[in-house]
Amino acid sequence: MSKINLGEEVKKLLLAGIGAAATTVEKSEEILDDLIRKGELTVEQGKILNQELKRTVRETTQKKDKEDVQDKEVDFEEFVKSLSPEEFSKLKEQMSRAENE
């Protein structure tokens, strides 16, 4: 049985989601700045749109992160059910050691 580090996997998943959201926000800010320079938006309109975009991205990211964690929980439950008694015992030992560290 391979060594399981569920916490690390969840961390990677959350960081990937945050990275994608940050990239989206940065690109959107560039577009808004470009529109302001071209005079198609006022600075105030750009600020309002930027704040709204950040709020929407934050809400979407939080919702997606919760869904991803729930999916991982289901996957983990299925994984645990598929273990042999010996593998399950080893997993419990690893979790106990990790808890005591």
Identify which of 72, 56, 64 has the alpha carbon closest to the alpha carbon of residue 17.
64
Domain boundaries, the chain: 6-100
Question: What is the pLDDT averaged over residues 17-25?
Answer: 72
> Amino acid identity of 97?
R
pLDDT range class, residue 71, cuts 50, 70, 90: low
User: What SS3 class is residue 20?
Assistant: helix
Instruction: Pick the more confident residue, 77 or 5.
Output: 77
Q: How many residues does the chain have?
A: 101
Q: How far is the first Cα of the chain from the last one, in angstroms, to the nearest whole number?
A: 22
| pLDDT at residue 43 in the model | 75
Instruction: Pick the more confident residue, 7 or 57.
Output: 57
pLDDT range class, residue 1, cuts 50, 70, 90: very low
What's the CA gap between 88 and 92, in Å, rounded? 6
